[in-house]
Structure 1
Amino acid sequence: MIGIITYGAGNIFSLTAALERLGIPYGMINKEEDFERYDRYIIPGVGHAGAAMAKLEHTGLVPEIKALKKPTLGICVGMQLLTAHSEEGDANMLGIFPINTLKFDGNTEFKVPHTGWNQVFPEKENPLFENIPAGSHFYFVHSYFIEYNKAYTLASTTYINKFSASIWRDNFYGVQFHPEKSGAYGETLLKNFSNL
């Protein structure tokens, strides 16, 4: 059963709708005791990373999140929260991954925010991307990206520059795209996560 960590900065509706479509049971985590009820966790997130981190700290759940040993997935800003630092708000993040969240260069012919479908290429064998062919399209909406680091990159994509579309370290995973808005392959990824 998946526990969705709620802290006031996540697009809960589209995620819960996708989980319901897939028949994946879930519930909400609002306080420390709630963690015990679940065997997997999702950190959703939309909007400003610095503001999201401030909201997360306000919940008092940060120590519990850092200590999690069960599969944990950050989505979009939820993934950026797992990094060490974000240029958005010049804010320190959870520091689970020793990599940074950077701002896209807006002085190119590419539009920022990056909004739309992009091909994603897994770089490591991992059950999260099982039955998802290399080059499958996922839906992105973001102005900041996670710097590419081979050690932690599970899958990559390119928009303005190459960056991590998905990261992985121990039981922690992150995806910059929105699997809940990415059609069949997004649903496959959520199913895969529920079976990790």
Structure 2
Amino acid sequence: MNIAIIDYGAGNVQSVLFALERIGFTGKVTSDAEEIKNADKVIFPGVGEASSAIKMLHDKDLVKVILQLKQPILGICLGMQLLCKSSEEGNANGIGVFDLEIKRFSNQVKVPQMGWNNIYNLKSQLFDGISENEFMYLVHSYYAPLNAYSIATTNYGIEYATAIQKDNFYGVQFHPEKSGNVGEQILKNFLNL
């Protein structure tokens, strides 16, 4: 299977590569439009700040490439947030696949949310074989409010969408590549879509 990991300078690509290797797959880190378009599956990781990350995507002409993808694509953490319309982080415009605004957690909770939290209300093939309330690893200060695209929920002061889906686009706020066996099962499920 041909798996492209989008390289735009803001991704935790090494841990994604290692996670794929642990489950018997090889990914290719690339910013080449043709390689991304021709891949069987695309992973869109992200770590860092939204406004600078979206600028890097535009600088590499990858926004229009992502919008054209017809195969399954998985946005992870900031990658998920960038698939949305906008983010309060740096007042960034996103790619706009999901008509959502990413919000900052209120000062009532410790920011960033860092560590393990459970996921529930699981509603997608992405979670085949995953039990309600399994724990996933998260590190983030911004979140997607619950919405029509929600396929998993987490509670951190408020309930929010910890995973979203629209057509072939999937996004997870948690890091499956850092979430042990459960995260690896979610990656396997994505590759089996």
Task: Return the letter of the residue paired with 1:118.
Answer: N
What is the alpha-carbon distance in structure 1 between the residues aligned to residue 12 and residue 100 of structure 2? 24
TM-score, length of structure 2 as denominator length: 0.97
SS of aligned partner of 1:73: strand
Counterpart in 2 of 1:81?
Answer: 82
Q: Secondary structure, in 3 states, of the residue corresponding to 1:173?
A: strand
Report the residue type matching 2:24 in the other structure.
G
- Which residue of structure 2 lines up, in the alignment, with residue 144 of structure 1? 142
TM-score in terms of structure 1 length: 0.95
- Please list, as runs of the form range in 1=range in 2, the aligned pairs for 1:12-23 lying within 5 A after superposition: 12-23=13-24
Superposed, 1:65-104 pairs within 5 Å as: 65-104=66-105
Partner of 1:32: 33
Name the structure 2 match of 1:133: 131
| Counterpart contact for 1:122–1:129, Cα < 8 Å | no
**C-alpha distance in structure 1 between counterparts of 2:70 and 2:165, whole Å:** 13
> How many residues are matched?
192
Which residue of structure 2 aligns with residue 167 of structure 1?
164
Q: SS in structure 2 opposite 1:16?
A: helix
Please list every run of 5 or more consecutive structure 1 residues that lacks an aligned counterpart in the other structure. Answer: none
Cα drift, residue 36 of structure 1: 4.1
Corresponding residue SS for 2:51: helix
Whole-angstrom distance in 2 between the partners of 1:195 and 1:94: 25
Seq. identity, %: 48
Deviations 1:72-95 (A, max 9, x none): 000000000010000000011000
Q: 1:192 aligns with which of 183, 189, 192?
A: 189
Contact 2:17 2:26 (8 Å CA) reproduced: no
Q: Quick one: distance in 2 between partners of 1:15 and 1:192? A: 15
Distance 1:123 1:139 in 2: 16
Residue 156 of structure 1 pairs with residue 149 of structure 2? no
Q: In the aligned structure 1, how far is the partner of 2:112 from the partner of 2:37?
A: 37
Task: Say which of 178, 181, 184 aligns to 1:181.
Answer: 178
Query: Where has structure 1 moved over 2 Å in runs of 4 or more?
Result: none
* Distance in 1 (alpha carbons) for counterparts of 2:27 and 2:59: 23
Alpha-carbon offset, residue 163 of structure 1: 0.5
| RMSD of Structure 2 on Structure 1 (CA) | 1.0
- Whether the 8 Å CA contact 2:37–2:65 is kept in 1: the answer is no
Q: Describe the SS at the equivalent of 1:80.
A: helix
Determine helix, strand or coil for the equivalent of 1:132: coil
